């Protein structure tokens, strides 16, 4: 059961937010929600459910578009004046975890694409679930969201878990030489919308 544990003011390069820490009681299942404005009881709240990506979000990897999506989401939520960004650090590498994600990187260096690498490691192309994120949205009292995503599976899962997605807002960033094929594979094999 996800519970709110602490909250504080958080100034960022994109504006001021309230940061709220959530946990299911274990230190391995902790989540952060950046909240802009009073979202309780509100419809059409600008929202991002962001999967943790240490290589992109922290180290600035050019192999993915995670950092760009995170920054653009914070910017759009700030501009809307009302929103929530849920950071789920348990979802590293589409749910693989850091070690298997780096193993997938090794396989990609040998010619496999991201989906082939996941399959080679014995996994489906995306292991992520959004149960914790939808619980957090419900705890915050959000009635419906405008979801910042390119991933149709995320929309489907969120709605099945009881959060209405009123609209999808695309997150587009220009490809670079290191992530161009990665973005193409997400579109071709995973149905991501660009």
Q: Which residues of the chain have pLDDT under 50?
A: none
Three-state DSSP class for residue 23: strand
Domain residue limits, the chain: 3-190
The residue from 42, 94, 126, 181 that is catalytic is 126
Cβ contact 120:112 at 8 Å: yes
Residue 77 CA to residue 122 CA, distance in Å, equals: 37
> What was the pLDDT predicted at 116?
95
Cβ contact 139:22 at 8 Å: yes
State pTM to two decimals.
Answer: 0.93
DSSP calls for 91-126: GTTTTT-HHHHHHHHHHHHTT--HHHHHHHTT--S-
Token pair 């952060």: residue: 32
CA 171 centroid distance within chain: 11
CATH value of 3-190 in 3.90.120.10, 3.30.300.30, 3.40.50.300, 3.40.50.10990: 3.40.50.10990
> What was the pLDDT predicted at 27?
66
Residue among 136, 181, 177 nearest 23 (CA): 136
Pick left, alpha or beta for residue 90 (phi over 0 → left; psi -120 to 50 → alpha; otherwise beta): alpha
Cα radius of gyration (the chain): 16
> What was the pLDDT predicted at 163?
97
Three-state DSSP class for residue 161: coil
Q: Is 128 a catalytic residue?
A: yes
Q: Phi and psi (nearest 5°) for 97?
A: 95, 165
The residue from 42, 128, 153, 168 that is catalytic is 128
What tokens appear for 123 in the block? Answer: 């996994």
Q: Is 153 a catalytic residue?
A: no
């Amino acid at each position: 059961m996800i519970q709110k544990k602490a909250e504080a003011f958080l100034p960022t390069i994109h504006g001021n937010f309230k940061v709220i820490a959530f946990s299911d009681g274990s230190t391995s299942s902790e989540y952060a929600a950046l909240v802009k404005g009073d979202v309780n009881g509100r419809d059409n709240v600008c929202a991002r459910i962001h999967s943790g990506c240490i290589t992109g979000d922290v180290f600035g990897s050019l192999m993915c578009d995670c950092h760009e999506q995170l920054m653009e989401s914070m910017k759009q939520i700030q501009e809307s004046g009302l929103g929530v960004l849920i950071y789920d650090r348990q979802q590293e590498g589409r749910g693989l975890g850091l070690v298997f994600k780096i193993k997938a990187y090794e396989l990609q260096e040998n010619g496999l694409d991201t989906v082939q690498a996941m399959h080679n490691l014995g996994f489906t192309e995306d292991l992520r679930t959004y149960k914790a994120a939808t619980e957090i949205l419900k705890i915050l009292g959000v009635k419906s969201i405008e979801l910042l995503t390119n991933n149709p599976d995320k929309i489907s899962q969120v709605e099945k878990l009881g959060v209405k997605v009123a609209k999808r807002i695309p997150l587009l960033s220009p490809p670079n030489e290191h992530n161009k094929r990665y973005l193409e594979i997400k579109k071709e094999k995973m149905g991501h919308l660009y």
